[in-house]
Amino acid sequence: MNDQLALELKEADAREEGVAALVSHDDIHVSKSTFLNGLANHVHRWFRLTPSFGPELVQEMMERLGVRDGETVLDPFAGAGTTLIEAKLEGRDAVGFEINPLLHFVNEASLEWAVDPKVLRHQLQRLESEVGKSEGVALDDLEAHGLTIPPIHNPTRWWRPDILVQILFLRRGIFATEDPHVRRLLLLALAGVLVPDLTNVTLGRLQLHFIDRTGHDINVWAIFSAHVGRIADDLESLRESGAHLRGYARCYHQNSMDLSQLRLDRRVSAVVTSPPYPNRYSYVWNTRPHLYMLGLMQTAKEASDLDKRTIGGTWGTATSELSKGVFEPASPAIAAVVGPVVEEIRAQDNLMANYVMHYFNRLTAQIAAMEPIVTDDARIAYVVGNSWIKGVYIETDVMLGEIVDRMPVANSSSLPKMTTCSRIDSTVLLTLMFFTPKSRVCGAPERGGRPRRAAPLGSALE
Ligand SMILES: C[S@@+](CC[C@H](N)C(=O)[O-])C[C@H]1O[C@@H](n2cnc3c(N)ncnc32)[C@H](O)[C@@H]1O
C-alpha cells in the first residue's frame, strides 16, 4: 500500500469513528414506526400511504425534540400528513411542504376537522342516488351522460369497466357538493378507497402491482359509504375531545428543495420528517390512479415532470434521464462521502449509481434550503432509510450525517448539524437522525453503539 493511500484510509477511518461517536441506536418496534401504526387510528386511517411513518413515532420525535407551546413544527416531506395530524391532535402548530398534488390534497383534506359529521353523513343519500344512475350504463355510453374517462394511459387496465362507470357517476356527485369543505372530505373518502379496493391493483408489496379483478365481488357504494362513515365517526370523536379547535396546521403545495419564493408567517422551531428513501419507490407512479381520478393531473407529461422534481425513485422518462452520463456530486462533502459508494455501484449499473448521487445531492440541498425558515435553536429530526442497491449497502444515516457535519457554515447559528441518530428497526432499516444548528447541542438520546448492518432485503428495496 502506498503512503498516500494509507493516509487516506487513516483519515477515512478517523472520520467514520467521529461520526460513529455521534451515533446511537434505540430500537423502536416496526409496528410503531411505519404506516401500520396509523391504520387503526383516528384520522390517519382516512388515507393509506404505505411509506408513511407511524403516529407514535411522530409523538416520540416531538417529545424528544421537546416541542414547546407556541412553537411550530415543520414536515418538509409531509406525505399523507402524519406529522401535521399528530401535531394538531396535540394542540401544536404545524406546517408541511408536499410536492405531490394528491398527497398535498390528502394533507389539507385530512385537516378539515371543523366539518359537522351530520352534514357529511347527510350527503350519502344524494350520492347513493347519483351512483344508482350508473346502472345499465356502459363505458361507451359515458359521453351521452356528460362523463369523461380520466386521461390516464390505458384506463381499463386500472379499472374494471363496470367499476369505472360507477366511480365516475359517484365522482360527479361529489364534485357537485356545494360546501367546499364537505366536498374535500368526500373526495378524500373516494381517494381513500380507490386504491386498493376499487382499482385493479394490490398493495401487497411496497409498490402498486396490477391484478386481475374479473369475477371479484366489488360493491362500490358499500365500500365508499362505509369509509365516509369512518370519517364521520372520527369527526365526532374530534369534536368530543375538542381537538378540532386546537393547533394551527397548514400544508403548502411546495417543493422543499426550493423555498426561495415561500413567504411563511412564522419561524419553525422543530422539524419532524421522513424524506423518501434511496429505493425505487416512485411516489408519482404509485399515486397516478388518484391523481387522474381526482382531476389533479391531466397529461403524461405532467406526471413525468413531477417525477423529475420529486426526490426518490423514478419511472419512465425521469428514469431514462438518470441512465445518461455521469451525475456529479454537488459539493466536495458529497464527493467525499457518497463518491466511493457510487463508484462501487457504477461498476455494475450506471443508472443506479446516478440515482444514488442524485438522491444525496437533493437531500443535502433540501436540508440547506431550510436555513432561512428555522429558528436559531431549531431541533431537527429526520427518519431516513438505509438500503442495499446492487449489493452495496447505502448507509444513509451515517452518510447524510457526515455530509451535514461538513456543510459550509454560512451562518454558524443556523446550519443544521447531526448530533446523534438512533436505529429504529433492524429489518426496516429506518434510522432517526437528529440535527441541531451548529452552535447548539440538543437533548439527544443516550449515545450507544454504531448501527448494525442489517441483512439485505434484496429486490424489495432496490
Ligand atoms: C416518505 S414520504 C413521507 C411520508 C409522511 N411522513 C407520512 O407519514 O405520510 C416522502 C414524501 O416526500 C414527498 N417529496 C418528495 N420530494 C419532495 C420535494 N422535493 N418537495 C416536497 N415533497 C417531496 C413525496 O411526494 C412523499 O410524499
Instruction: Decide: helix, strand or coil at residue 142.
Output: helix
d(CA 198, CA 223): 9
Q: What are the grid coordinates assigned to 86, written together?
A: 399528530
Most confident of the ranges 191-200, 363-372, 423-432 = 191-200
387 C-beta closer than 6 A to ligand 1: no
List CB contacts of 154: < 8 A, sequence separation 6 or more: none
What pLDDT does residue 57 have? 86
Q: Where are the alpha helices (DSSP H) in 203-265?
A: 220-241
What pLDDT does residue 37 have? 75
CB 462 within 8 A of CB 387: yes
Prediction pTM value: 0.88
Q: What are the grid coordinates assigned to 395, written together?
A: 448507509
**Residue type at 379?**
R
211 to each of 208, 216, 413, 438, how far by Cα in Å? Answer: 9, 11, 53, 50
96 C-beta closer than 6 A to ligand 1: no
255 C-beta closer than 6 A to ligand 1: yes
What pLDDT does residue 292 have? 98
What pLDDT does residue 448 have? 38
Task: Return left, alpha or beta for 242; rule: phi > 0 is left, psi -120 to 50 is alpha, else beta.
Answer: left
Instruction: Decide: helix, strand or coil at residue 248.
Output: coil
Instruction: Give per-residue pLDDT as tens, 93-106.
Output: 999 999 999 999 99
Residue 100 alpha carbon, nearest atom of ligand 1: 25
123 C-beta closer than 6 A to ligand 1: no
What pLDDT does residue 65 have? 86
199 C-beta closer than 6 A to ligand 1: no
Q: How many CB atoms lie within 10 A of CB 319?
A: 17
Instruction: Return the ∠ at Cα 215 (arms to 209 and 219), rounded to 5°.
Output: 85
Instruction: Give per-residue pLDDT as tens, 376-416.
Output: 778 888 888 878 888 898 888 888 888 887 775 443 334 44
Instruction: Give per-residue pLDDT as tens, 188-231.
Output: 999 999 999 999 999 866 788 999 999 999 999 999 999 999 99
Higher pLDDT, 458 or 326: 326
Higher pLDDT, 61 or 238: 238
Q: Is the dihedral of CA 326, 327, 333, 339 positive or negative?
A: negative
Residue 455 reports pLDDT greater than 80? no
Distance 204 CA to ligand 1 centre (A): 21
53 C-beta closer than 6 A to ligand 1: yes
Query: Considering the chain, what is the average pLDDT of its residues?
Result: 84
